[in-house]
Amino acid sequence: MMNTPSTPLSPEFHAHFMRLALREAAKAAEAGEVPTGCVIIRRPESDEVPIAAIRVLGRAHNQTEMLKDATAHAEMIALTQAAAATGDWRLTDAILYVTKEPCCMCAGAIVLARVPLVVWGLSDPKRGGHSVFSILNHPDLNHRPEIQSGILEPECRAILQDFFKERRSE
Q: Which of 75, 101, 153, 166 is catalytic?
A: 75
Q: Which amino acid is at 47?
A: D
Residues 6+ apart with CB under 8 A from 145: 3, 110, 111, 115, 116, 117, 118, 136
Residue 113 three-state SS: coil
75 is catalytic: yes
Alpha-carbon dihedral sign for residues 47, 44, 141, 148: positive
| Bridging pattern class, strands 117-122 and 146-149 | parallel
- What does each C-alpha distance from 144 to 101, 114, 115, 137, 153 come to in angstroms? 15, 8, 9, 5, 23
Nearest Cα neighbor of 57 from 24, 31, 33, 84 is 84
Q: Are 99 and 35 in contact (CB under 8 A)?
A: yes
Active site residues: 75
